[in-house]
Amino acid sequence: MTRAIAGVAAAACLGGAVALHAAQDTRWPAPKVDRPELMYLRSSTVVKRVVGDYDAIAADLYWIRALQHFGGERISAPSHVRTYALLYPLLDLTTSLDPYFSIAYRFGAIFLGEAYPDGPGRPDLSVALLRKGLAAQPARWQYMMDLGFVYYWHLRDYKSAATTFQQASEVPGAPSWLRPLAAVTLAEGGHRDASRALWQQLAQSEEPWLRDSAKLRLAQLDTMDVIESLQQPVQAFRGAHPGEPVTWDRLVAARLLPGIPLDSSRTPFVLDPNTGAITVARESGLFPLPGQIQAPR
Comparing CB distances to another protein, the nearer of 34 and 206 is 206
Crossing angle of helices 192-202 and 141-149, rounded to 10°: 150
What value, to the nearest 5°, has the Cα angle with vertex 20 and ends 18 and 24?
Answer: 120
Stretch that binds another protein, among 48-56, 160-168, 175-183, 195-203 (CB under 8 A): 48-56
Q: Contact between 124 and another protein (CB under 8 A)?
A: no
Contact 158, 207 (CB under 8 A): no
Stretch that binds another protein, among 11-19, 97-105, 263-271, 280-288 (CB under 8 A): 97-105
Contact 101, 95 (CB under 8 A): yes
Query: Whole-angstrom Cα distance, residue 267 to residue 281?
Result: 7
CB of 100 to another protein, least distance (A): 4
Query: For residue 238, which phi and psi values (nearest 5 degrees)?
Result: -65, -35
Stretch that binds another protein, among 7-15, 19-27, 59-67, 145-153 (CB under 8 A): 59-67
Nearest to 113 by CA among 70, 80, 79: 70
* Beta bridge mates, 262: 268
Query: Exposure pattern of 91-109 as b/e (b: 16+ CB <10 Å)?
Result: bbbbbbbbbebbebbbbbb
Q: Contact between 103 and another protein (CB under 8 A)?
A: yes
Interaction residues for another protein, span 147-206 (CB under 8 A): 205-206
Stretch that binds another protein, among 76-84, 98-106, 155-163, 264-272 (CB under 8 A): 98-106
CB of 278 to another protein, least distance (A): 34
Contact 89, 39 (CB under 8 A): yes
Tell me the one-letter amino acid at 93.
L
Among 9, 10, 18, 57, binds another protein (CB under 8 A): 57
Q: Contact between 60 and another protein (CB under 8 A)?
A: yes
CB of 55 to another protein, least distance (A): 7
Interaction residues for another protein, span 216-245 (CB under 8 A): none
Torsion over CA: 187, 227, 202, 291 (sign)? positive
Stretch that binds another protein, among 24-32, 61-69, 233-241, 275-283 (CB under 8 A): 61-69
Q: Contact between 98 and another protein (CB under 8 A)?
A: yes
Number of residues interacting with another protein: please give it, by CB under 8 A.
23
Quick one: three-class SS letters along 5-27?
HHHHHHHHHHHHHHHHHHHHHHH
Tell me the one-letter amino acid at 194.
A
Comparing CB distances to another protein, the nearer of 63 and 165 is 63
Among 13, 56, 85, 139, binds another protein (CB under 8 A): 56
Comparing CB distances to another protein, the nearer of 34 and 53 is 53
Kindly list the residues in this chain that would bind another protein in the complex (CB under 8 A): 49, 52-57, 59-60, 63-64, 67-68, 98, 100, 102-103, 107, 205-209
